[in-house]
Each structure stands twice: as structure tokens, then as C-alpha cells.
Amino acid sequence: MRLLLLLLTAALSQALLRVPLSRGKSIRRTLLEHGLLQYSAVLQDAAREPLVDYMDNEYFGTISIGTPPQDFSVVFDTGSADLWVPSVSCSSDACTNHQRFNPHVSSSFQPSNQIVSISYGTGKISGALAYDTVQVANIAVHKQALVLTETESIFLFYSHFDGILGLGYPSLSVSGTPPVFDNMWSEDLIPEDIFSVYLSSGSGSFVVFGGIDDSLYSGNLHWVPVTPQKYWQITIDSITMNGHSVACLEGCQAIVDTGTSVIAGHPDAISGIQRAIGAKADPYGLYHVNCDTISHLPDMIISIDGKNYPLPARAYINQFPGSCSSGFQSTSGLWILGDIFIREYFVAFDRGNNRVGFAPTIKS
């Protein structure tokens, strides 16, 4: 065994002599890009965070904060870049049925005088910025910035998670502090500047920090450049159904967002899509579909960087006992490829190269 390891080390050393190292890239990354190292070798040092699926609407995992650790369920959200959890000082109704962090019993807690307010599509939170040890899977990040909420919008009362851990670019951070993933990388806690997401219905969903698990997808990853480095934003070429364009005729910008359950787009385009699938609005603004028609509905084809990504009706229609609803919603901003898309396509978020990789998921 020792001889084999020596031979492998020697072979890699010789290979490195022939491979130029790019500035800012690790040795492992350079070897990967030149086919001299497999992702499975890197994955051994990566951290896998299991996620709970609540009705295909929310995916969240457990982290701990403080010393000794206090546990919280959080959404790992690529559409934001701050970490927040409720505080014992929070007086909002939304905090009363969730875990609340008590800084007085954490020996590693460090307060600050900064107040942070973060707005989301359905409400906002506000609280005090602080620093403490945050553990995700087996990774402990020390002096991580987080917001301890003191007020929360009522919509969070109904959430099945306690807080949100943002995985967007640092420029997206409202608090102006490095996100958790950035600190993982800068503190050399993960082997690669990359994380990946696998979502499934039911059990078996994961976020992998520092690597890519190629057992979770089929074929090869198709890499797409990130446009502005804020959100995980990419360019969609077109969106078609039955061979006809239904959106993004001349291309459009979209974000890949693990914190959104639906596919969202411009109101006119979404209205046309609802008509195409026979969805009708109820008094509450939800669009319902006749469950008997699902097998006859067309695939939605999302073209990204010259490659087609089909979404069958079983993916974009939410099916419940006795009720089926559309998975499309209107938004006034960028298009959003949410969990409906990510359940069909494994996604790798590569900060080292500012790109996103897609491949069909292997269903669990």
C-alpha cells in the first residue's frame, strides 16, 4: 500500500510539472480541469448536509450556532447571502413557534451595534448583527456573522424552518459581511470553492459543500457562465412549449434559486403559460389545473446556452390529493428557476470559475 501511495504521489508530481497552475486555483482544481483527478477524490473531504423536504415546497437542513451548540433548521438559499435565525429578544408572533437563539449561554458569542433589515418577496426580518461559531454538517466556521432577528413578518409564522442561510455572492449580502460559504473557503475548511445541490421529492436531498457527487446525476455537467456576480444569474435562450415560444423569445436573465419553490417570470409570459396548460385562477390567486389532463400536457423546454432542459408536466404541476396546481408564478424581476427545475436537474455552483453546472438528476 505504501508503495502504491508513493507511486501515485510521484505520478501526480510529474503531472503537475506539466500542468500550469492558474493563479487563484488550488492544486486539486487544476488537476480536476486537466483530467488528472476525479471528483470522487475531492468529495472525500467535502461536507454533505442532508435536507428535509416539506411537501416539495420547503427544503431545509439543521445547523448549530454557539458554544455549546444550539440547533436551528434553515433554508440553504442561493437567492440571498445572509444568515439569520430568531433571537430570544424577538417579540413577533413568527418567532414564538420557532427555535430562538440565546446569546447569553454562548461563550463564543460576540455582539455588534449594527441593525440589519432584510426584505424578501413575501416579507422581511430585522435584527442585530452578531458573530458566533456556526456549524454546518461537520464544518465549524468561527466568528461567522449572523443576524439575530427581533422582528419578523407574519408569513414566517407558517414556515417550517427557523431561519435562512444565504449562499449567494458576497455582493448580495445586506449586512455587508462574508457569507458562510465564503468563510468556509477562505478558512480552508473545504477542498474546493464549489457547492452542489440535489433535490428530490421525499427523502434524499443534499447540499454538498466543497465538492460534486457524480452519483447524483447522469451524463456530464453542462457549465454555464454566471453573468453579474451577485445572484447565481444566467442567460436563458428561450422557453418553448409544443414548439412555440412562450417566453424569452430574445433571451432573458434568470437566477437559480434554491429558496424559491416555483418557476417565476414576467407576468405577461406567465399568464400565457397558464393559459397554455389550462390553469385557472381561484379567488386567492392560485392557479389550478384539472388533474386528469396532466398526462396530456406538453413539456416545457428551457434552452440554456444552446442546450435544452425539458420539464414534464409532472414536474411543473403540484399534485395533492384531489387538487392540482400550476408551479408557475409571476414576478416583476428576473426569471427564477426554483425547486421545480432543480428537482429535475442537479446543480453545481462553482465560485472558483463563476459558473453553474446542470445535469439530469438520478431519481432516488
Phi, psi (5° rounding) for residue 59?
-120, 125
The mean per-residue pLDDT over the stretch 252-266 comes to: 97
CA distance 183 to 141: 7
Assess whether 193 and 261 both reside in one domain: no
178 belongs to a structural domain: yes
pLDDT at 246 over 80: yes
Nearest to 316 by CA among 343, 290, 282, 334: 343
The pLDDT, as a whole number, for residue 44 is 61
pLDDT at 7 over 80: no
126 belongs to a structural domain: yes
The answer to whether residues 254 and 234 touch, using CB atoms and an 8 Å cutoff, is yes
Assess whether 196 and 300 both reside in one domain: no
Assess whether 271 and 174 both reside in one domain: no
Instruction: Catalytic residue, from 77, 132, 162, 350: name it.
Output: 77
State the chain's maximal CA–CA distance in angstroms: 72
The pLDDT, as a whole number, for residue 30 is 54
Contacts with 251 (C-beta within 8 Å, 6 or more apart), sequence order: 235, 236, 237, 238
Expressed as residue numbers, the domain containing 51 is 47-209
The distance in angstroms from the start CA to the end CA of the chain is 35
Per-residue confidence band for 58, with pLDDT thresholds at 50, 70 and 90? very high
32 belongs to a structural domain: no
39 belongs to a structural domain: no
More confident residue, 313 or 22: 313
Assess whether 60 and 141 both reside in one domain: yes
203 belongs to a structural domain: yes
Alpha helices in 210-338 (DSSP H): 267-276, 313-316
Query: What is the number of domains present in the chain?
Result: 2
340-350 pLDDT tens trace: 999 999 999 99
The answer to whether residues 277 and 283 touch, using CB atoms and an 8 Å cutoff, is no
Assess whether 341 and 229 both reside in one domain: yes
11 belongs to a structural domain: no
Assess whether 198 and 300 both reside in one domain: no
Domain boundary among 182, 209, 236: 209
Assess whether 168 and 302 both reside in one domain: no
Residues in the chain: 364
The pLDDT, as a whole number, for residue 31 is 52
CA distance 221 to 235: 17
Assess whether 205 and 221 both reside in one domain: no
Q: Any catalytic annotation for residue 257?
A: yes
Output the nine-digit C-alpha cell for 271.
399568464
Domain boundary among 209, 244, 261: 209
The pLDDT, as a whole number, for residue 121 is 75
Contacts with 81 (C-beta within 8 Å, 6 or more apart), sequence order: 166, 167, 168, 169, 170, 171, 172, 173, 174, 179
The pLDDT, as a whole number, for residue 14 is 37
pLDDT at 129 over 70: yes
CA distance 238 to 143: 44
By percentage, how much of the chain surpasses pLDDT 90?
A: 83
* Residue recorded with cell 460576540: 110
Mean pLDDT lowest among 33-37, 190-194, 256-260, 295-299: 33-37
* Residue recorded with cell 510539472: 17
41 belongs to a structural domain: no
151 belongs to a structural domain: yes
The answer to whether residues 147 and 95 touch, using CB atoms and an 8 Å cutoff, is no
Q: Which residues of 17-27 are buried (b: 16+ CB within 10 A; e: fewer)?
A: eebeeeeebbe
Write the CATH number for 160: 2.40.70.10
Mean of pLDDT over the chain: 89
Assess whether 204 and 108 both reside in one domain: yes
Per-residue confidence band for 17, with pLDDT thresholds at 50, 70 and 90? very low
Assess whether 330 and 251 both reside in one domain: yes
pLDDT at 223 over 60: yes
| HSE of 166, CA atoms in CB hemisphere, 13 A | 28
The pLDDT, as a whole number, for residue 127 is 98
Q: Any catalytic annotation for residue 77?
A: yes
Domain boundary among 181, 209, 237: 209
The pLDDT, as a whole number, for residue 123 is 85
Per-residue confidence band for 43, with pLDDT thresholds at 50, 70 and 90? low
Assess whether 291 and 186 both reside in one domain: no
Instruction: Catalytic residue, from 56, 82, 132, 257: name it.
Output: 257
Q: Which residues of 304-334 are buried (b: 16+ CB within 10 A; e: fewer)?
A: beeeebebebebbbbeeeeebbbbbbebeeb
Order of all β-strands in the sheet with 263-265: 233-236, 252-256, 335-337, 263-265, 328-330
Mean pLDDT lowest among 37-41, 109-113, 193-197: 37-41
The pLDDT, as a whole number, for residue 295 is 94
85-126 pLDDT tens trace: 999 999 999 999 999 999 999 999 999 999 999 998 778 999
Assess whether 226 and 98 both reside in one domain: no
